[in-house]
Amino acid sequence: MITSAAFLVVMLVGVPIGLCLCIAGIVFIMASGNPLLFQSYPLQMFGGVDSYGLIAIPLFILIGEIMNGGGITRRIVDLAMAFIGSVRGGLAYVNILANMFVASILGSATAQVAIMSQIMVPEMEKQGYDKTFAAGLTAYGGMLGPIIPPSVMFVVYSVLAQVSVSDMLIAGILPGLILTALFFVVIALMGYVYNYPRAEKQSGRQRLRTILAALPTLSIPVIIVGSILGGLANATESAAIGAVAAALVGRFWTRQFAFSRLPEMMLRAGVYSAVVLFLVAAAAVFSWILIYGKVPQETAAWIQTVAKDPITFMLLTNVILLVIGTVIDGIPGLIMTVPILLPIATEVYGIDPRHFGVVVVINLVLGLLSPPVGLCFFVAAAVTGAKPGKMFLVTLPFFGVACILLVLLSIYPFLSLALLK
């Protein structure tokens, strides 16, 4: 009780979540009356980051830095436009399709929203779309970032759950594609109701030129995902190869990337990675005190009185995680919930940890698009000037289909495990 109170107090006064977790661990040891536990404290922190899989995080972030600095994002948007830009609501489809392509390289929702808002929202405004809808749609497109590989959240989950990073990345492919298809259905219905504009139709020669200009940029996600699916490389190795491919494409094809800018990109990637890794280290301490305090066992006993079967448990978990995700960012949300809920899911209800991980990540990402915080909406608002509250209202149908996907994933595990069979 004292530990929980200390954690809530320091979090509410604005202390970063990583420090909150560390302080909670110190308070727990002091309250336990066993000072010898302080000797294990640094060992637990080190053990949390002593994982080969975590090397993939700075590499994935570096890929995103190189891709954005090398003009690759713009080529991907043009490619999407060449495919479907001339149909009714074409730019809305392009927004989601381009986000799907970019998601296979960036792997971060907030970074993706920031980048794509600068590109897509002004373009959609020129074509007559409402700015609020354009910004909100871009925010939902960013939701694909942590689902379609590579994904920093899946890497962190795999370390917390002690499962293969490659398996988690593969498990996210099919749900990501299904979510993209559901977003397309919503755009088609909304385009019919609101009479969305059509983009200017491209000639066959223009379309071919655009596709040829963008094709080499697609080598980056093909290398990353293909090497993992083909068993040629694990997640960390594929991230390293992808970073090299992004640098070569940006330097010799788009000609917008200079190797002299690599040190500053590596520095930014390193700073962001350090924040993530500190959270993982703090999570190790948090998990340790939870287990020592028998929190998972007590939580399991309560949940078993409510959920009698795996499907009921998964649906209950959806509700819990959606609520948590509305006030806590994705990775801290993983850190706080996985040590408690995962043992219950696997040991009590026999749920595959990879399937459970996909549901957890999508829930927490959807929380980034839900009031009262809605971090992705605030990122889009900062770039475009649109109102976050209005964004949520005009894009409610996308929230609805994302919830439908969560229910389907909870009932049908094969939707996330099919590619792993």
**pLDDT per residue as tens digits for the range 294-353:** 776 677 777 878 888 899 999 999 988 888 777 676 777 787 788 888 988 998 899 999
Task: Please tell me whether residues 139 and 23 are part of one structural domain.
Answer: no
Angle at 53 between CA 48 and CA 59, to 5 degrees: 115
Angstrom distance (rounded) from CA 280 to CA 47: 10
pLDDT score, position 372: 65
Residue 104 pLDDT exceeds 70:
no
pLDDT score, position 106: 62
pLDDT score, position 185: 93
Residue 155 burial by Cβ neighbours in a 10 Å radius (0-12, 13-18, 19+)? buried
Task: Please tell me whether residues 226 and 100 are part of one structural domain.
Answer: yes
**pLDDT per residue as tens digits for the range 252-265:** 888 888 888 888 88
Cis ω for the linkage preceding 372 (within 30 of 0): yes
pLDDT score, position 1: 57
Task: Please tell me whether residues 313 and 298 are part of one structural domain.
Answer: yes
**pLDDT per residue as tens digits for the range 392-418:** 888 899 999 999 999 999 999 999 999
pLDDT score, position 353: 94
Task: Please tell me whether residues 25 and 47 are part of one structural domain.
Answer: no
Angle at 322 between CA 317 and CA 327, to 5 degrees: 130
Q: Give the bridge partners for 88, in sequence order.
A: 198
Task: Please tell me whether residues 51 and 19 are part of one structural domain.
Answer: no
Task: Please tell me whether residues 218 and 334 are part of one structural domain.
Answer: yes
Task: Please tell me whether residues 260 and 325 are part of one structural domain.
Answer: yes
R_g over Cα of the chain: 22
* Residue 355 pLDDT class (50, 70, 90 cuts): very high
Task: Please tell me whether residues 22 and 102 are part of one structural domain.
Answer: no
Nearest to 242, CA basis, from 410, 77, 84, 59: 59
HEC-encoded secondary structure of the chain: CHHHHHHHHHHHCCCCHHHHHHHHHHHHHHHHCCHHHHHCHHHHHHHHHCCHHHHHHHHHHHHHHHHHHCCHHHHHHHHHHHHHCCCECHHHHHHHHHHHHHHCCCCCHHHHHHHHHHHHHHHHHHCCCCHHHHHHHHHHHHCCCCCCCCCHHHHHHHHHHCCCHHHHHHHCHHHHHHHHHHHHHHHHHHHHHHCCCECCCCCHHHHHHHHHHHHHHHHHHHHHHHHHHCCCCCHHHHHHHHHHHHHHHHHHCCCCCCHHHHHHHHHHHHHHHHHHHHHHHHHHHHHHHHHHCCHHHHHHHHHHHHCCCHHHHHHHHHHHHHHHHCCCCHHHHHHHHHHHHHHHHHHHCCCCHHHHHHHHHHHHHHHCCCCCCCHHHHHHHHHHCCCHHHHHHHCHHHHHHHHHHHHHHHHCCHHHHHHHC
Nearest to 325, CA basis, from 360, 283, 281: 360
Task: Please tell me whether residues 34 and 109 are part of one structural domain.
Answer: no
- pLDDT averaged over the chain? 81
Angstrom distance (rounded) from CA 153 to CA 159: 10
Q: Give the bridge partners for 198, in sequence order.
A: 88
pLDDT score, position 4: 67
Q: Which amino acid is at 119?
A: I
Report the length, in residues, of the chain.
421
- Between 197 and 316, the more confident residue is 316
Task: Please tell me whether residues 172 and 25 are part of one structural domain.
Answer: no
**pLDDT per residue as tens digits for the range 172-187:** 989 999 999 999 999 9
Q: Phi first, then psi: what are they for 88, rounded to 5°?
A: -60, 130
Residues 338, 342, 345, 351, CA torsion sign:
positive
Tell me what the mean pLDDT of segment 50-62 comes to. Answer: 76
**pLDDT per residue as tens digits for the range 105-162:** 665 676 778 778 877 888 888 888 889 998 999 888 888 878 887 777 888 898 888 8
Residue 131 burial by Cβ neighbours in a 10 Å radius (0-12, 13-18, 19+)? middle
Residue 153's Cβ-side half-sphere holds a number of Cα atoms within 13 Å equal to 30
Task: Please tell me whether residues 386 and 410 are part of one structural domain.
Answer: yes
Residue 358 near residue 175, CB atoms below 8 Å = yes
Residue 345 near residue 351, CB atoms below 8 Å = yes
Domain count, the chain: 2
Which residue reads 């993983």 in tokens?
334
CA 134 to centroid of chain Cα atoms: 20
Residue 253 near residue 217, CB atoms below 8 Å = yes
Q: Which domain holds residue 9?
A: 1-39
Task: Please tell me whether residues 174 and 211 are part of one structural domain.
Answer: yes
**pLDDT per residue as tens digits for the range 211-245:** 787 778 777 878 887 887 777 887 788 888 888 88
pLDDT score, position 86: 66
